[in-house]
């Protein structure tokens, strides 16, 4: 269980007008009993998270909970398992308003109740294995609620936006895969096939996939993969009132090839190239008659666009979309890992490009994706000092592209430059951590101390760019200064009584 107290610390040092403070909370619980080779292994699990950003007036909350059980049994060469699960997702924005200015109270929220079950069966053989399974996932999709569910916020919202009408859907997937070894493990071929039926879009899709591994020597391995992947539309984007109920799934072809080897001093090295091509992608188009949507003349930009990308499944896009877009992503990933005595270090670097193609009736050519990050460097190291594990992580990431505001008119209207033509400053962050474990007869107790963004105040990372109307110049929204955390974990690993 973890709970951050950065909100309490910053509340004491920040002025009142800057107190839009974060509070992070998460917890996990797991219990195992039994033996998979005897009567079966039963695992019960529960994890939850509740993150909130708030000041004295407004708040943004994102919370979820998941609970489930997994039963696994092994009989000879056959292993099977069943995993039912259920959960609840809540996303909400609330503003208490301001009586002095006459601004009224407002609220926007959506609640989802996902449920599912997964069953799989695997049979080992001298040449490899064959496996198959069933995935069923669905649940209740709450409608986007504005204010009170029986009364609109300002009296002008359509009834469809305020009534409490939920939707139900079920996705069903069948999959099968094989793993075939040739000449021992020198060549491993892993073909797969997945057949799915999506409830929201009422369509059936088939995804073939293939992975191949060549072990050329004990120190040199080559891997290739190719596969087709469908992504069903979200409940928000297929909403009958403020979505497109005829939206279909998006399709992406993913390919990769990589090499893993052992370098000097026993370092593990790896390099992987990838290319993804997507079509039938949902993108904003001009709505049909009778649909009241605001359609922008340029792609969304800034922190708001990034948040919508990350929260799209729950919140929706607030656009009328159709399957006329396209996507492409390509790049190369480098990785290294090395251990010397009590020190363990690893690093990764990714060079990548991500592009999107929007409505061809309004836009031409490709544009940068809002989350396109050309360079991504991560370095991690840890060392055992006495009974404490000390570690650090350094990250350097290219800033996201955004549409700059270049000037304002006399009436305050903002004039923008070429869409997504500039980038935010690079993201640079150093995190440090200390862990300690106490093993007792009743179990193990683990304590960790974590300080994120230890590079502050030497550097403030920029999250968004805007315009300061008072000073008539660009302005920047900065991220959190520091985020200290303390956590305690209990592991029930005591020996069973005889």
Residues 220, 332, single domain; the answer is: yes
pLDDT at 301: 79
Confirm whether 496 is domain-assigned.
no
pLDDT at 109: 82
Task: Report the distance separating Cα 321 and Cα 35, nearest Å.
Answer: 50
pLDDT at 428: 93
Of 134, 154, 182, which one is at a domain's C-terminal end?
182
Task: Report the distance separating Cα 147 and Cα 108, nearest Å.
Answer: 6
Confirm whether 137 is domain-assigned.
yes
Band (pLDDT 50/70/90 cuts) for residue 154 is: very low
What are 352's two structure tokens? 């990548």
Confirm whether 498 is domain-assigned.
no
Confirm whether 497 is domain-assigned.
no
pLDDT score of 120 more than 90: yes
pLDDT score of 315 more than 90: no
Average pLDDT value for the chain? 86
Quote the domain boundaries for residue 76: 34-42+63-182
Confirm whether 243 is domain-assigned.
yes
Mean pLDDT of 200-223: 95
Band (pLDDT 50/70/90 cuts) for residue 53 is: confident
pLDDT score of 393 more than 70: yes
pLDDT score of 422 more than 50: yes
Mean pLDDT of 223-239: 92
pLDDT at 338: 94
29-38, 98-107, 226-235, 395-404: least confident range: 98-107
CB under 8 Å to 496, separation ≥6 — which residues?
none
Mean pLDDT of 448-474: 83
Closest CA to 233 of 312, 334, 128: 312
Residues 232, 370, single domain; the answer is: yes
Confirm whether 295 is domain-assigned.
yes
Residues 290, 141, single domain; the answer is: no
Number of structural domains the chain divides into? 2
pLDDT at 153: 36
Residues 83, 196, single domain; the answer is: no
Band (pLDDT 50/70/90 cuts) for residue 152 is: very low
Q: Does 203 or 468 have the greater pLDDT score? A: 203
CA dist 323 → 193, 199, 320 (Å): 24, 17, 11
Band (pLDDT 50/70/90 cuts) for residue 344 is: very high
Residues 189, 270, single domain; the answer is: yes
pLDDT score of 354 more than 70: yes
Band (pLDDT 50/70/90 cuts) for residue 146 is: low
pLDDT at 15: 60
| Residues of the chain above pLDDT 70, percent | 88
pLDDT score of 321 more than 70: yes
Task: Report the distance separating Cα 136 and Cα 308, nearest Å.
Answer: 27
Residues 332, 399, single domain; the answer is: yes
Mean pLDDT of 329-343: 95
Confirm whether 19 is domain-assigned.
yes
Q: Does 239 or 314 have the greater pLDDT score? A: 239
Mean pLDDT of 102-119: 85
Following DSSP, what letter does each residue of 435-484 receive, concatenated? EEEEEETTEEEEEEEEEE-TTTTT---EEEEEEETTTTEEEEEE--S-EE
- DSSP 8-state assignment for residue 357: E
Q: Does 464 or 47 have the greater pLDDT score? A: 47
Q: Does 435 or 56 have the greater pLDDT score? A: 435
Confirm whether 392 is domain-assigned.
yes
pLDDT score of 452 more than 90: no
Residues 117, 255, single domain; the answer is: no
pLDDT at 239: 82
Mean pLDDT of 213-233: 95
| Residues of the chain above pLDDT 90, percent | 52
Of 133, 163, 182, which one is at a domain's C-terminal end?
182
- Per the rule left: phi > 0, alpha: psi between -120 and 50, beta: everything else, 472 is left
Residue count (the chain): 498
Span 162-183, pLDDT tens digits: 444 568 899 999 999 999 999 8
pLDDT at 91: 86
Residues 214, 94, single domain; the answer is: no
pLDDT at 20: 65
Is the pTM of the predicted complex or chain greater than 0.85?
no
Q: What is the largest CA-CA distance in the chain?
A: 83
Residues 83, 6, single domain; the answer is: no
Residues 278, 375, single domain; the answer is: yes
pLDDT score of 475 more than 60: yes
Band (pLDDT 50/70/90 cuts) for residue 151 is: very low
Mean pLDDT of 371-384: 96
Mean pLDDT of 287-295: 78
Of 160, 182, 204, which one is at a domain's C-terminal end?
182
Residues 125, 24, single domain; the answer is: no
Closest CA to 188 of 165, 160, 153, 214: 214
Residues 249, 267, single domain; the answer is: yes
- DSSP 8-state assignment for residue 374: S
pLDDT at 54: 79
pLDDT at 432: 95
């Amino acid at each position: 269980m973890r709970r951050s107290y950065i909100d309490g610390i910053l509340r004491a040092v920040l002025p009142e007008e800057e107190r839009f403070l974060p509070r992070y909370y998460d917890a996990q619980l797991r219990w195992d009993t039994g033996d998979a080779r005897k009567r079966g292994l039963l695992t019960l699990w529960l994890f939850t998270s509740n993150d909130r950003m708030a000041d004295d007036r407004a708040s943004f909350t994102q919370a979820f909970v998941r609970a489930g059980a997994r039963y696994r049994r092994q009989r000879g060469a056959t292993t099977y398992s069943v995993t039912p699960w259920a959960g609840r997702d809540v996303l909400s924005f609330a503003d208490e308003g301001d009586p002095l200015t006459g601004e009224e109270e407002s609220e926007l929220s959506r609640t989802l109740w996902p449920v599912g079950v997964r069953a799989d069966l695997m049979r080992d053989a001298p040449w490899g294995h064959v496996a198959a399974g069933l995935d069923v996932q669905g649940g209740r999709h709450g409608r986007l609620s504005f204010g009170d569910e029986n009364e609109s916020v300002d009296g002008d919202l359509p009834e469809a936006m305020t009534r409490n009408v939920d939707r139900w859907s079920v996705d069903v997937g069948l999959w099968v895969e094989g793993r075939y070894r040739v000449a021992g493990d020198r060549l491993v071929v892993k073909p797969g096939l997945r057949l799915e039926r999506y409830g929201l879009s009422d369509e059936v899709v088939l995804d073939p996939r293939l992975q191949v591994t060549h072990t050329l020597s004990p120190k040199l391995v080559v891997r290739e993969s190719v596969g087709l992947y469908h992504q069903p539309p979200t409940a928000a984007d297929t909403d009958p009132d403020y979505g497109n109920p005829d939206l279909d799934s998006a399709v992406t072809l993913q390919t990769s090839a990589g090499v893993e080897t052992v370098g000097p001093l026993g370092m593990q090295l790896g390099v992987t190239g990838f290319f993804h091509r997507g079509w039938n992608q949902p993108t904003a188009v001009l709505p049909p008659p009778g649909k009241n949507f605001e359609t922008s003349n340029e792609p969304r930009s800034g922190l708001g666009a990034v948040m919508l990308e990350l929260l799209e499944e729950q919140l929706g896009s607030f656009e009328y979309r159709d399957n006329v877009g396209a996507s492409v992503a390509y790049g190369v990933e480098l990785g290294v890992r090395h251990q010397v005595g009590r020190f363990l270090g690893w690093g990764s670097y990714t060079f990548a490009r991500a592009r999107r193609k929007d409505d061809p009736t309004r836009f031409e050519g490709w544009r940068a994706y809002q989350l396109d990050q050309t360079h991504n460097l991560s370095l991690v190291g840890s060392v055992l000092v006495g009974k404490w594990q000390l570690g650090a992580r350094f990250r350097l990431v290219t800033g996201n592209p955004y549409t700059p505001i270049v000037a304002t008119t006399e009436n305050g209207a903002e004039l923008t430059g070429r869409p997504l033509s500039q980038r935010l400053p690079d993201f640079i962050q150093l995190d440090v951590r200390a862990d300690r474990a106490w093993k007792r007869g009743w179990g193990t107790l683990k304590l960790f101390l974590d300080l994120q963004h230890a590079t502050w105040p030497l550097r403030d990372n920029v999250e968004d760019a805007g315009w300061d109307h008072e000073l008539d110049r660009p302005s920047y929204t900065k991220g959190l200064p520091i985020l200290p955390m303390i956590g305690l974990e209990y592991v029930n690993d005591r020996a069973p009584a005889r």
